[in-house]
């Protein structure tokens, strides 16, 4: 890293990127389904249900059980969902393999690190704290942190600013179309993980790089930083 260059910033999505949250999210959905006398959703269905927020998860889960919900019921169930999920937010959730070591390596190398998620900020902070990596981040931003959310590029820019970063030296890491669109809308490079929560394979969404394990993140970041420097010179 050049002494004349600002410290690079990495902006991470949370669910499906840093943390495998599907089990606790599906567990909360199943608690609501059971309360309504409906059959549970199998864990293997998680990847097609989660990733778009609590409301979408509830709608998808109940639709899977042929039990569509009127609007007023959805609003009530979202409140119940969030309360139950908060109480069980890290029962089974874990960081993906290699994530903690990667955060440590980048942090030790002087990178600024941030989280930019559509998960409510309060829950994002709670989860990151429970996973014992909150101290690794210069900013943790979620739904409610600002008046916008992903894929609005302003969410990305405000997160970078909160971390004290330079948008021109920032890379997004995510697992879905929303993350890739956020980066594209902000004019930032993006690395996609291929083990997250998306109906469409990330290879079809055109990220700049793809990783299958966090051990691969360091060289991919170096490639993108080098290409960014080449474009500016």
Q: Which among 13, 24, 138, 179 is annotated as catalytic?
A: 13
Query: With contact defined as beta carbons under 8 Å apart, do 165 and 112 qualify?
Result: yes
CB 159 within 8 Å of CB 11: yes
Show the tokens assigned to 12: 């991470």
Residue 81's region, left for phi above 0, alpha for psi from -120 to 50, else beta, is alpha
Q: How far is 196 from 15, CA to CA, in rounded Å? A: 8
Could you confirm whether 13 is annotated as catalytic?
Answer: yes
Q: In terms of DSSP bridges, do strands 19-20 and 170-174 run parallel, antiparallel, or are they unpaired?
A: unpaired
DSSP state letter for 214: G
Tokens found for residue 174: 């995510």
Nearest alpha-carbon partner for 88 in 15, 132, 14, 27: 27
CA 124, CA 103: separation in Å to the nearest integer?
Answer: 17
As annotated, the active-site residues are 13
């Amino acid at each position: 890293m050049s002494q004349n260059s600002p410290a690079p910033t990495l902006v991470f999505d949370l669910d499906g990127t840093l943390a495998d949250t599907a089990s606790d999210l599906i567990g909360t959905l199943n608690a609501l389904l059971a309360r309504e006398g409906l059959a549970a959703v199998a864990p293997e269905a998680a990847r097609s249900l989660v990733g778009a927020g609590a409301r979408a998860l509830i709608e998808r889960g109940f639709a899977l059980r042929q039990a569509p919900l009127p609007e007023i019921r959805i609003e009530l169930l979202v409140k119940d969902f969030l309360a139950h999920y908060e109480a069980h937010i890290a029962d089974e959730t874990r960081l993906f393999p290699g994530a903690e070591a990667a955060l440590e390596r980048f942090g030790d190398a002087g990178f600024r690190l941030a989280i930019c998620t559509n998960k409510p900020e309060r829950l994002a902070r709670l989860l990151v704290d429970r996973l014992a990596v909150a101290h690794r981040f210069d900013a943790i931003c979620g739904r409610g942190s600002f008046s916008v959310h992903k894929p609005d590029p302003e969410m990305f820019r405000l997160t970078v600013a909160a971390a004290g970063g330079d948008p021109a030296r920032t890379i997004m890491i995510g697992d879905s179309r929303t993350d890739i669109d956020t980066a594209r809308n902000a004019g930032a490079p993006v690395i996609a993980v291929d083990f997250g929560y998306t109906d469409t394979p990330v290879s079809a969404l055109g990220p700049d790089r793809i990783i299958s394990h966090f051990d691969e993140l360091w060289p991919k970041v170096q490639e993108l930083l080098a290409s960014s420097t080449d474009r500016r010179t």
